[in-house]
Structure 1
Amino acid sequence: MSSNVVSNEFLTGLEKSLGYIRGFAASQVIYSFLQEGIFSLLEDGLDINAIAQKKGFAPNLLRTVFEYLAVEGILEKSTSENGQVNFQISNYGKNISTYYQGWFNLLIGGYSPIFANIPNIMSQGTNYISRNGKWVGVGACQISQNDVFPLANKMMEEIKPNVKTIVDYGCGSALGLCEFCNQNPNIKAIGVEPDEGAYQAGLNLVAAKNLQERITLVNSAALDHEINEVPDFILFWFVLQEIYGQNGEAALIEFIKNIGVNFPDSYLHVIEVDYAIDNEEVMKSPLGLGFYNPYFLLHPFTDQKLVSDQKWTEIFTKSGFEIIKKEAVDPKVDPTGLVIGYVLKYAESGV
């Protein structure tokens, strides 16, 4: 092999390897600045000295980070006539806070302990270290504003207009329930959230939006919570995967079936991810590489079980439910088609 070929192969591999390092560094910096509210301060027009003073940061170190973010296109750097260097947030930087921070909160804030400890978890077991449930719940709800919430609104409206009562298992930060209540003044809801941090975040959000009279939150695991009133819809968004992983298929089927027996007039609205790891076209797409591949990786390490759309259909049938509506999220938001919504109705059959 000629030295020229070796050189080309080396550079190609190096560029790919450094891409991983770039993403690691950028994701950590962006997440930390979201947590500190730096992007919001820039949007408010504060300059570097005012931000350093407000946050108690060393100005020279803050400038170093700003220089880094300017190269990444998150900030814009300019020099005034008197030679003073200024930084403003770019349009993309503004969009990180507005549209994209959910992915950082979920994967960096919520699951970075898992990614950093994969060898230890493989040798010591999944109890070795936990995800950060607060940021998993907050991030998942923020992401869902783009895909799941619009899909759920559409599907529920088509099945049963003028919904009055909702029970949401695994409600996270309760952002979805708040949005439902804001859009429909007749809805009352109960949110069930097992993680203490996400539950507290939900209480804070509900209080901030003055929805305490319409939204009740319960800090409980799904299997431990009993529904007292007949709801129009019972929501399971990315929750059945966790019950499946931690309790097994038989327990999951029994749980779903019992809901059908006890609440035959209620609809179940389920959102799950089609585990399409062998679909190379999807997995090699930007969303596949950037989100679904790490998403698929981390779930077994947190005792969650992802399965195919075909397998979910089988489980619903065994539980005695019929799929009366099925739809993927808007392809303009997620063209992979992997996030699927199901509306289920108890059919008094199954196993």
Structure 2
Amino acid sequence: MQPDFEQRLISAIQPIRHFFLAQCIEFAMSSGLLTRLSEPSPTDVDGLAKDLNLHPERLTGLLRYLEGEGIVTDSEGVPAITAKGRELLEFRPWYELLIGGYGATLRELPEVMADRKRFASRNGTMVGLGSCGMSRFDAVPLVKRLITRLPEPPSALVDLGCGDGTFLLDLCEGGSPGIGVDPTAGSIDNARRAAAERGMSDQVSFVNATAEDYMAQVKAEAVGAPCFVTAFSLQEVLEQQGRGATVEVVRTALASAPGAHLAIVEVDHRPLDPAVLRHGLGNAYYNPYYFLHRITEQRLETRGFWEELIAEAGGYVVACLTTAPEVDSTGLELGFLVRGH
């Protein structure tokens, strides 16, 4: 036996440790446990179990585990969240997307890796929830900056692939009317609930449909200048319906009314770029993000690809921006403001 066996073992199984940890953190978030522990009124394990509809013995086991990872304290008395746990809660949307949305995806690798025609499944509702939550930090500010480049305020914002609706609701807070479109019924239910909670149900409506189906029934308007928004949704049309259908979605949006614009947010596909792989966020987030999009029914492409597709659809790029560097300095998330010729 080599003298450094134990140290090499500890190093080798760190990915297993983090696999378990990510799963348990996501459950602690989605079950409401971490939120409950962060509230000012502490309670013991039995009280927590009753509040959260969990079995007290199993909850104790989870709390012990989380205490071992420095996320909670006093797991068998009156548990409390640590500063590390509070920090995790701030980044909850990333857990909702990658663990809640794609947690079961990798279990399907044996099937999908052998057959290009098969795709791994995902939890569309959780993907939408996580994506919209993350967008408050990056894509929403990016689209708001694009909207300031419009020659006049849009007559309406139409979000194609709206997820849980919070992305569109954030964009419409200034008073713009909005329409959200998404193919996942659970996401539309969440969106309507969110609009009601924010008192915006009369201002923003939601439609359960795919982007291509919705755009197929859009009639050209003689007045008004809507701004359509596709944040990470054209990649789905591209893989599921092909390039021609994607071009048609863009073309229809730009032809819907004189002065209509389209704000597109996509991720530049640069999986082997050394600058990406050396970047902390590139390695921690975009590297797994790239792989997940290879095995699920989505297709990432390069900036040049999207610029060519926009031109094919009869549009031109008014502006191309990326995220604020204090949030994401990779420059991989691209926002295009597009208008028809």
TM-score of the pair, normalised by structure 2? 0.90
Provide the C-alpha distance between the structure 2 equivalents of 1:179 and 1:116, rounded to a whole number of angstroms: 35
Q: 1:95-135: per-residue Cα shift (whole Å, max 9, x none)? A: 333x2111111111111221111112234666565211100
Q: CA deviation at 1:264?
A: 4.3
Provide the C-alpha distance between the structure 1 equivalents of 2:207 and 2:285, rounded to a whole number of angstroms: 30
Give the letter for the 2:297 counterpart: D
Q: Quick one: which of 113, 130, 135 aligns to 1:144?
A: 135
Give the letter for the 1:220 counterpart: A
Provide the C-alpha distance between the structure 1 equivalents of 2:120 and 2:137, rounded to a whole number of angstroms: 30
Q: Quick one: which of 18, 29, 34 aligns to 2:24?
A: 29
Call closer, same or farther: CA 1:148–1:41 in 2, change over 3 Å. Answer: same
Q: Quick one: which of 283, 290, 294 aligns to 1:296?
A: 290
- What secondary structure sits across from 2:66 in the alignment? helix
2:313 aligned with 1:324, yes or no? Answer: no
Call closer, same or farther: CA 1:75–1:323 in 2, change over 3 Å. Answer: same
Number of the residue aligned with 1:209: 198
TM-score of the pair, normalised by structure 1? 0.87
Provide the C-alpha distance between the structure 2 equivalents of 1:124 and 1:279, rounded to a whole number of angstroms: 27
Call closer, same or farther: CA 1:180–1:104 in 2, change over 3 Å. Answer: same
Number of the residue aligned with 2:42: 46
Provide the C-alpha distance between the structure 2 equivalents of 1:144 and 1:203, rounded to a whole number of angstroms: 18
Call closer, same or farther: CA 1:111–1:16 in 2, change over 3 Å. Answer: same
Cα RMSD after superposing both structures: 2.3
Q: 1:223-243: per-residue Cα shift (whole Å, max 9, x none)? A: 111335554310010011111
Contact 2:101–2:126 (Cα < 8 Å) also in 1:
yes
Q: 1:317-336: per-residue Cα shift (whole Å, max 9, x none)? A: 22211111111101111121
Structure 1 residue ranges without an equivalent (≥5): 79-83
2:277 aligned with 1:283, yes or no? Answer: yes
2:307 aligned with 1:313, yes or no? Answer: yes
Give the letter for the 1:134 counterpart: T
- What secondary structure sits across from 1:326 in the alignment? strand
Q: Quick one: which of 88, 111, 123 aligns to 2:80?
A: 88
Q: CA deviation at 1:41?
A: 1.2
Mapping 1:41-120, distance limit 5 Å: 41-44=36-39, 45-47=41-43, 48-77=45-74, 85-97=77-89, 99-120=90-111
Contact 1:323–1:344 (Cα < 8 Å) also in 2:
yes
Q: 1:16-59: per-residue Cα shift (whole Å, max 9, x none)? A: 43221122111111111111101121122333332123234343
Provide the C-alpha distance between the structure 1 equivalents of 2:182 and 2:99, rounded to a whole number of angstroms: 21
Provide the C-alpha distance between the structure 1 equivalents of 2:139 and 2:36, rounded to a whole number of angstroms: 30
Number of the residue aligned with 2:264: 270
Q: CA deviation at 1:246?
A: 1.2
Give the letter for the 2:91 counterpart: Y
Contact 1:166–1:231 (Cα < 8 Å) also in 2:
no
Q: CA deviation at 1:341?
A: 0.6
Mapping 1:106-185, distance limit 5 Å: 106-123=97-114, 130-160=121-151, 162-182=153-173, 184-185=174-175
Structure 2 residue ranges without an equivalent (≥5): none
Q: Quick one: which of 201, 208, 212 aligns to 1:219?
A: 208
Q: 1:286-316: per-residue Cα shift (whole Å, max 9, x none)? A: 3222211111111132221111111111111
Which deviates the most, 309-318 or 86-95? 86-95
Contact 1:126–1:301 (Cα < 8 Å) also in 2:
no
Q: CA deviation at 1:198?
A: 1.0
Provide the C-alpha distance between the structure 1 equivalents of 2:71 and 2:152, rounded to a whole number of angstroms: 43
- What secondary structure sits across from 1:159 in the alignment? coil
Contact 1:257–1:320 (Cα < 8 Å) also in 2:
yes
- What secondary structure sits across from 1:216 in the alignment? strand
Q: CA deviation at 1:63?
A: 2.8
Give the letter for the 1:120 counterpart: E
Contact 2:119–2:297 (Cα < 8 Å) also in 1:
no
Q: CA deviation at 1:163?
A: 3.6
2:241 aligned with 1:247, yes or no? Answer: yes
Number of the residue aligned with 1:346: 340
Which deviates the most, 27-36 or 269-278? 27-36
Number of the residue aligned with 1:81: none
Contact 2:157–2:172 (Cα < 8 Å) also in 1:
no
